[in-house]
């Protein structure tokens, strides 16, 4: 059966087009119920009589038809294994797909779980349930009518099947069909048409066997809530926002909340060099980190400066009226900023509307309520950028010491905090597995198991290299190839060789795992790797980008095993000048897989003179020449504090913590990886001028270097930042005989001034913008780690296509789709870095739990109310606060009158009496773990030396006989 759908569309020129589409209706679409005696059924997804749910509202067996709003708002409820025999109409499925891709994906996962009995009914093509759009009817009203029509047809269709004498003799109660809708208008029309209907909340509350499911209901507002006074200005409507953008009265951008000051944030606006500063609760106006917001720029006379104050919201519960303390905090901060020098002021604005919310699920804990037997509680997110969330739960006692997940539903004007609902518990607080899960979720790291579809594209085991494979590749199995990696590395991406040629020159080869041989374009395995973007390394845990069969087995260049590689081979003279280069796919057999330490021992042992040792010595000598040449060109040697943990193999808790050691062999491998990346970048950009995948590192704006220049000047060093070469030479001169860590600290400070390196497509920028500032390289890419970076797989495919080793394909040359992939890779790499740092912080906290230690450190930089201190022994960095909290929570009971620190804006110093703190000054601090806030345990730095009375820790104190002494760490303690 065929029907016609007609509609008109206005063209850009103003012409009216009449569009007619054929729409086919069928009479052979099954209803999916095992009660039906008339329809052809699909056995796999039947609605069955096996799952009856007890409801006090509907005391008979029933199927459920979902309205679109119920799916969008209550997906967390639907994911629970409570709902069975649910009919999902294609009208609803299409609406959800257009409104939220993430919820559409989650709904599809439920539908494909055969145990859940969710049945997709194609109502739009069924002759009895298709609803043609009526004149003057909106698309939304037509969809509501289609949903009601399908619900009514289902009910009457099943009633007909249950009128048979066989069914009536069985004594079973007839099954009915219920529509769940949160649209009051749709419910009223459904009731008028005789359809059984309920709101999602009423239905969930009626489920007698699942009382706790109520906690997962989306909370747009709380029942019996008093209509409190508005605490925030109203948001402009979408129509007003669009008009404001058109007239250029409003600006649009992504909101970034400050992690250190809950009353501050910024909005990144296109074509603005600096982000728009937002300060104060009313100006922030209910924006949550990540939201796309509309900003009104304030007059220049009202512009402010970033506060540089560390401000946390404390001692707050669900009292929606701001307390005196909070009002005072806000006033104090804003008063300080009004006195900021004009030169430091930056464009400042206020948020007037939300264009698009970017709410997600948040990890955190419940804050114990001050009121007994209440269901309303405050959820404190682990991410300091996220505000507290009000939720209703009846299982607060059970969740008290658990990490839980909560999602935001709404943020009314009259509520200090957004409203949300409980999703699920992750596990006990402090448990290593739970805390790692929190890190992964909070940094949006995809870490679920690889799906069956993804795994189906892996090679079948046992896998062997065939004669055809040997014929297509260059055989390098006889070369003395070896790999050098960190201890315990199983995903070995790269291997090296060096041999002398008859003409006296050297042949050097970098051999990279040929991952692109196993991952073919656009299949499920490729899409999963592209979505993950990178392997994520936590302490003692790795989240692979590709399945383990590839990462630790078939692709890993382990010693003594034949493997596929992509080889980049140069001919170099004795002075490391490249005379020739070639690329080819190869078969290699690594003679040995070594750690950096093992390779260094071989190089240094004069009694060794085998082929591997000779190869390593030549590589090491050439690497030193290459590094010097890079430094002379202006490449920067930057530093960041890095920590290495020894982890207990059973409990996975840290036993020892120390700063990472760097050897010549680290630098040796790095130099040849850099050379390979640069060589490949030059080649693919010449071959594919518009679609080469490259990596750039923008030059920082001069203002970024201000803290570095000021800090170095006080120490008697002038740092020139005009060019990378001048900066590199300046850093080399920053050496103090009495402070071995001074140069490292200067370089750490320089790292903080840098911009983020990013992936991009060559056709999107001018050639002069390709420059990599940190490496002083005119062009650069990533080629050497395809097991753990998807960018390298893309580069491998381009290189293979350019040398005829593999065929090209359409998407490889599509600039737009590859730009989208690059944007995702940049995001994933940034999140992976943050997740790694969070894992280091977690393990550091576990290591210092129950311990105290006095350690020598140095002031990295001075802030308005704190010193940033580096502890070289551990590679640790932390904050020493100079201003106590009024409640004395930091353990230092003092008042402002006793100890006063004065911050000097000019030279960035802090003075207290005769003691002045500058950057790089030596200090002694006491390290201990503050566990008073179970959510945010923090390593506390307290000053020991220089001694300031009333502020520094007293080194000789009387011990209370009733109080057990805190454990002190023995510095001479031997490693386990």
Q: Which of the pair, 227 or 375, is modelled with greater confidence?
A: 375
- Supply 198's token pair: 């309920």
Q: What does the pLDDT read at residue 771?
A: 92
Q: Which of the pair, 638 or 935, is modelled with greater confidence?
A: 638
Q: What does the pLDDT read at residue 660?
A: 59
Judged by average pLDDT, the poorest of 97-106, 131-140, 218-227, 944-953 is 218-227
Q: How far apart are CA 523 and CA 516, in angstroms?
A: 12
Judged by average pLDDT, the poorest of 102-111, 872-881, 931-940 is 931-940
Task: Answer whether residue 681 shows pLDDT above 90.
Answer: yes
- Supply 431's token pair: 């448990």
* 155-205 pLDDT per residue, tens: 999 888 887 777 777 777 888 999 999 999 999 999 999 999 999 999 999
| Coil vs helix vs strand at 403 | strand
Judged by average pLDDT, the poorest of 432-446, 509-523, 789-803 is 432-446
Cβ neighbours, 10 Å, residue 105 = 11
* Eight-state DSSP code of residue 370: S
- Rounded to 5 degrees, what angle do the CA atoms 605, 607, 610 make? 90
* 410-443 pLDDT per residue, tens: 998 888 899 999 998 999 887 888 989 999 998 9
Task: Answer whether residue 675 shows pLDDT above 60.
Answer: yes
Judged by average pLDDT, the poorest of 598-602, 746-750, 957-961 is 957-961
pLDDT band at residue 557 under the 50/70/90 scheme: very high
16-24 vs 62-66, strand pairing mode: unpaired
pLDDT band at residue 891 under the 50/70/90 scheme: very low
pLDDT band at residue 395 under the 50/70/90 scheme: confident
Task: Answer whether residue 653 shows pLDDT above 60.
Answer: no
Judged by average pLDDT, the poorest of 124-133, 143-152, 499-508 is 124-133
- Rounded to 5 degrees, what angle do the CA atoms 410, 414, 418 make? 30
* Mean pLDDT in residue range 299-321: 68
- Rounded to 5 degrees, what angle do the CA atoms 679, 682, 683 make? 85
Q: What does the pLDDT read at residue 960?
A: 43
What radius of gyration, in Å, describes the C-alpha atoms of the chain?
Answer: 32
Q: Which of the pair, 217 or 229, is modelled with greater confidence?
A: 217
- For residue 602, give every residue at least 6 positions away whose Cβ sits within 8 Å of its Cβ, in sequence order, or none: 594, 608, 612, 613, 616
Judged by average pLDDT, the poorest of 234-238, 547-551, 618-622, 881-885 is 881-885
Query: What is the DSSP secondary-structure string of 761-807?
Result: EGGGS-GGGG-BTTTTBSS----S-TTTBHHHHHHHHHHHHHTTSS-
Number of H helices, E strands in the chain: 25, 39
Task: Answer whether residue 313 shows pLDDT above 90.
Answer: no
Task: Answer whether residue 616 shows pLDDT above 90.
Answer: yes
The predicted model scores a pTM of 0.78
Query: What is the maximum alpha-carbon separation in the chain?
Result: 101
Q: What does the pLDDT read at residue 587?
A: 95
3-state secondary structure 154-209: HHHHHHHHCCCHHHHHHCCCCCEEEEECCCHHHHHHHHHCCCEEECHHHHHHCECC
Tell me the angle at which helices 90-99 and 101-111 cross, rounded to the nearest 10 degrees. 140
Q: What does the pLDDT read at residue 965?
A: 41
Task: Answer whether residue 966 shows pLDDT above 60.
Answer: no
pLDDT band at residue 973 under the 50/70/90 scheme: very low
Q: Taking a C-beta distance cutoff of 8 angstroms, is the pair 515, 786 a contact? A: yes
* Mean pLDDT in residue range 550-561: 91
* Mean pLDDT in residue range 395-409: 88
Q: What does the pLDDT read at residue 334?
A: 62
* Eight-state DSSP code of residue 966: P
If phi > 0 it is left, if psi is from -120 to 50 it is alpha, else beta; for residue 682 that is: alpha
* 908-924 pLDDT per residue, tens: 788 888 888 888 888 99
Q: How far apart are CA 61 and CA 174, in angstroms?
A: 7
Q: What does the pLDDT read at residue 975?
A: 38
Task: Answer whether residue 801 shows pLDDT above 70.
Answer: yes
pLDDT band at residue 895 under the 50/70/90 scheme: very low
Q: What does the pLDDT read at residue 226?
A: 53
The fraction of the chain above a pLDDT of 90, given in percent, is 38
* Mean pLDDT in residue range 775-780: 92
Residue with tokens 């992964």: 440
Q: What does the pLDDT read at residue 507?
A: 95
Q: What does the pLDDT read at residue 577?
A: 92
Task: Answer whether residue 658 shows pLDDT above 60.
Answer: no
Best-predicted range by mean pLDDT (51-60, 406-415, 733-742): 406-415
Q: What does the pLDDT read at residue 939?
A: 82
Task: Answer whether residue 19 shows pLDDT above 60.
Answer: yes
Q: How far apart are CA 918 and CA 593, in angstroms?
A: 47
pLDDT band at residue 883 under the 50/70/90 scheme: low
Helix or strand holding residue 576 (H, E): none
Judged by average pLDDT, the poorest of 102-116, 675-689, 703-717 is 703-717
Q: How far apart are CA 612 and CA 122, in angstroms?
A: 67
pLDDT band at residue 874 under the 50/70/90 scheme: confident
* 822-863 pLDDT per residue, tens: 999 999 999 999 898 888 888 887 887 778 888 888 888 787
Q: How far apart are CA 969 and CA 965, in angstroms?
A: 12
Q: What does the pLDDT read at residue 643?
A: 57
* Mean pLDDT in residue range 468-494: 90
């Amino acid at each position: 059966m065929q029907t016609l759908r007609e509609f008109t569309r206005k063209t850009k020129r103003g012409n009216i087009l009449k569009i007619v589409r054929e729409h086919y209706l069928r009479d052979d679409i099954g209803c999916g119920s095992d009660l039906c005696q008339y329809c052809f059924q699909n056995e796999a997804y039947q609605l069955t009589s096996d799952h009856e749910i007890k409801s006090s509202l509907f005391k008979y067996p029933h199927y459920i038809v979902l309205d679109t709003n119920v799916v969008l708002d209550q997906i967390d409820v639907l994911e629970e294994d409570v709902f069975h025999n649910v009919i999902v109409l294609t009208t609803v499925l299409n609406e959800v797909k257009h409104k939220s891709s993430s919820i559409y994906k989650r709904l599809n996962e439920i539908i494909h779980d055969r145990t859940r009995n969710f049945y997709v009914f194609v109502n739009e093509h069924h002759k009895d349930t298709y609803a043609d759009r009526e004149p003057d009817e909106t698309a939304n009203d037509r969809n509501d009518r289609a949903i009601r029509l399908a619900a009514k047809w289902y009910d009457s269709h099943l009633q007909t099947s249950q009128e048979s004498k066989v069914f009536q003799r069985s004594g079973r109660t007839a099954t009915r069909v219920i529509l769940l809708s949160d649209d009051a208008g749709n419910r009223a029309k459904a009731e008028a048409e005789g359809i059984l209907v309920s709101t999602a909340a009423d239905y969930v509350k009626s489920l007698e066997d699942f009382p706790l499911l109520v906690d997962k209901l989306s909370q747009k507002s709380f029942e019996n809530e008093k209509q409190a006074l508005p605490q925030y200005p109203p948001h402009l409507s979408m129509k007003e926002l669009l008009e404001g953008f058109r007239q250029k009265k409003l600006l649009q951008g992504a909101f970034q909340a400050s992690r250190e000051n809950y009353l501050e944030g910024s909005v990144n606006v296109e074509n603005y060099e600096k982000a728009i500063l937002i300060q104060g609760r009313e100006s922030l106006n209910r924006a949550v980190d990540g939201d796309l917001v509309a900003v009104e720029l304030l007059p220049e006379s009202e512009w402010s400066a970033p506060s540089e104050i560390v401000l946390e919201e404390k001692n707050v519960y669900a009292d929606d009226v701001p307390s005196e303390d909070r009002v005072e905090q806000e006033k104090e901060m804003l008063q300080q900023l009004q006195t900021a020098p004009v030169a430091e002021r930056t464009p400042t604005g206020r948020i007037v509307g939300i264009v698009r919310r970017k709410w997600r699920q948040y990890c955190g804990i419940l804050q114990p309520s001050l009121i007994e037997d209440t269901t309303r509680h405050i959820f404190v997110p682990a991410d300091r950028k996220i505000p507290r969330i009000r939720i209703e739960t009846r299982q607060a006692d059970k969740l008290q010491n658990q990490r839980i997940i909560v999602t935001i539903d709404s943020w009314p004007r009259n509520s200090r905090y957004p409203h949300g609902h409980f999703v699920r518990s992750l596990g006990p607080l402090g448990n290593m597995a739970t805390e790692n899960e929190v890190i992964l979720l909070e940094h949006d790291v995809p870490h679920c198991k690889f799906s069956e579809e993804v795994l189906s594209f892996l090679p079948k085991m046992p896998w062997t290299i065939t004669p055809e494979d040997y014929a297509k590749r260059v055989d390098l199995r006889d070369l003395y190839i070896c790999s050098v990696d960190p201890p315990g590395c199983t995903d070995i991406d790269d291997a090296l060789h060096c041999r002398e040629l008859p003409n006296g020159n050297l042949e050097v080869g970098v051999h990279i795992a040929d991952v692109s041989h196993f991952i073919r374009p656009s299949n499920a395995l490729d899409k999963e790797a592209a979505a993950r973007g990178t392997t994520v390394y936590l302490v003692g845990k790795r989240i692979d980008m590709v399945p383990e069969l590839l990462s630790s087995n078939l692709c890993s260049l382990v010693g003594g095993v034949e493997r596929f590689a992509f080889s980049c081979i140069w001919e170099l003279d004795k002075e490391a000048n490249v005379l020739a280069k070639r690329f080819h796919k190869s078969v290699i057999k690594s003679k040995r897989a070594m750690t950096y330490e093992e390779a260094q021992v071989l190089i240094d042992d004069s009694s060794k003179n085998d082929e591997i040792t000779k190869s390593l010595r030549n590589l090491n000598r050439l690497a030193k020449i290459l590094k010097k040449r890079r430094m002379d060109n202006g490449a920067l040697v930057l530093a960041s504090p890095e920590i290495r943990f020894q982890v207990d193999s059973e409990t996975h808790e840290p036993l020892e913590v120390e700063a990472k050691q760097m050897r010549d062999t680290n630098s040796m491998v790095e130099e040849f990886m850099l050379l390979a990346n640069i060589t490949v970048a030059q080649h693919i950009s010449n071959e594919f001028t518009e679609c080469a995948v490259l990596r750039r590192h923008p030059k920082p704006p001069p203002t970024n270097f201000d803290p570095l220049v000021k800090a170095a000047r006080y120490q008697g060093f002038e740092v020139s930042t005009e060019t990378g070469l001048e900066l590199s030479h300046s850093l080399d001169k920053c050496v103090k005989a009495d402070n071995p860590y001074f140069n490292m600290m200067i370089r750490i400070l320089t790292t903080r001034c840098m911009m983020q390196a990013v992936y991009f497509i060559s056709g999107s920028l001018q050639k002069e913008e390709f420059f990599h500032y940190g490496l002083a390289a005119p062009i650069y890419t990533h080629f050497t780690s395809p097991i753990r970076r998807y960018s390298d797989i893309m580069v491998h495919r381009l290189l293979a296509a350019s040398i005829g080793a593999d065929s090209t394909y359409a998407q490889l040359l599509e600039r737009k789709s590859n730009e989208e992939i690059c944007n995702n890779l940049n995001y994933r790499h940034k999140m992976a870095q943050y997740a790694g740092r969070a894992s280091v912080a977690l393990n550091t906290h576990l290591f210092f739990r129950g311990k105290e230690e006095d350690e020598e450190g140095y002031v990295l930089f001075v802030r308005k109310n704190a010193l940033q201190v580096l502890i070289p022994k551990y590679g640790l960095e932390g904050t020493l606060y100079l201003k106590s909290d009024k409640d004395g929570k930091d353990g230092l009971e003092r008042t402002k009158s006793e100890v006063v620190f004065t911050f000097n804006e000019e030279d960035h110093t802090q003075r207290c009496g005769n003691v002045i703190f500058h950057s790089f000054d030596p200090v002694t601090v006491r390290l201990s773990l503050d566990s008073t806030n179970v959510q945010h345990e923090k390593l506390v730095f307290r000053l020991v030396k220089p001694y300031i009375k009333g502020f520094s820790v007293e080194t000789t104190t009387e011990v209370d006989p009733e109080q057990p002494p805190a454990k002190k760490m023995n510095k001479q303690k031997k490693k386990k």
